[in-house]
Amino acid sequence: MKTIIIFGSPGAGKGTQAKLLAKKYNFIHLSSGDLLREEVSSGTILGKKIKKYQDEGILVPNELLTELIEVNVKNNLNSSGLIFDGYPRSIEQANILNNILSKNNLELTTALTLNIEEEEALKRLLLRGKTSGRSDDNEKVIKKRFQVYYKETKPILNYYQEKNKLINISGKNSVETVQKEIITKLNLL
Ligand code: AP5
Ligand code: MG
């Protein structure tokens, strides 16, 4: 079973590309953001706690998230692949994911990162904000999400690079062009 992480700043196109890949290769798309938002909309106590962090654009603490990831990995062990979108997002989460994978006899196949300038990603998110209903798609919170990305998430790219597991993709082109680049580079594996 293949396991792929898709990295990128807010608005880089992680969700868009992960969905397309999942469809093409019959992989399961595991988006931490979507899983958290589902928990919020189901109105549970856990969901209420999560909402505060998402509304501010800061990372949800691991104690509210790890189990959600672990359960979804375990439930999909018979699939042809897992694609992680938005997870891991910190060194600590990279270690947690390593543990979850090894406990389930899995190994990371590869990680992709979608590169895009902040200005372009901001434009996309402001546009999406008109219709998405996402409480974090406004300029103030988007700026915060970028800060968190630079501080917490971007540094872990080195960790995957050092293990020769990181593929760089240009995220600024059209959805179709980005998808083609990903598929070409994934087929080399
Ligand atoms: P999350 O939901 O992961 O949000 P994000 O990382 O900020 O990224 P987005 O989902 O906004 O962007 P994307 O890269 O998926 O782009 P998309 O394809 O949608 O996280 C939200 C919050 O949840 C966090 O702030 C945190 O609170 C919490 N959270 C999540 N994971 C966590 C974790 N691991 N630990 C702790 N907390 C966590 O595209 C964006 C827009 O651009 C769309 O409108 C799309 O149609 C458009 N678009 C996409 N590609 C293109 C293209 N090539 N050209 C033009 N437009 C495009
Ligand atoms: Mg997303």
Residue pair 34/120 in contact by the 8 Å Cβ criterion: no
Give the pLDDT score at 187: 81
CA of 107 to the centre of ligand 1 (A): 25
Ligand closest to Cα of 38 equals 1
Please give the angle made by the CA atoms of 62, 67 and 72, to the nearest 5 degrees.
Answer: 125
- Helix, strand, or coil (residue 166): strand
Q: Cα(13)–Cα(114) distance, rounded to whole angstroms?
A: 7
Alpha helices in 57-150 (DSSP H): 62-74, 91-103, 118-132, 139-148
As for ligand 1, residues whose beta carbon falls within 6 Å of it are: 8, 10-16, 32-33, 36, 53-54, 57-60, 65, 86-87, 89, 93, 124-125, 128, 136, 145, 174-175, 178
Q: What is the pLDDT of residue 189?
A: 63
- Residues 25 and 4: their CA atoms lie apart, in Å, by 12
Which atom of ligand 1 approaches the CA of 37 most closely? 23
CA of 77 to the centre of ligand 2 (A): 23
- The residue contributing the CA closest to ligand 1 atom 54 is 174
| Ranges under pLDDT 70 in the chain | 188-189
pLDDT digits (tens, 9 = 90+) for 121-162: 999 999 999 999 999 999 999 999 999 999 999 999 999 999
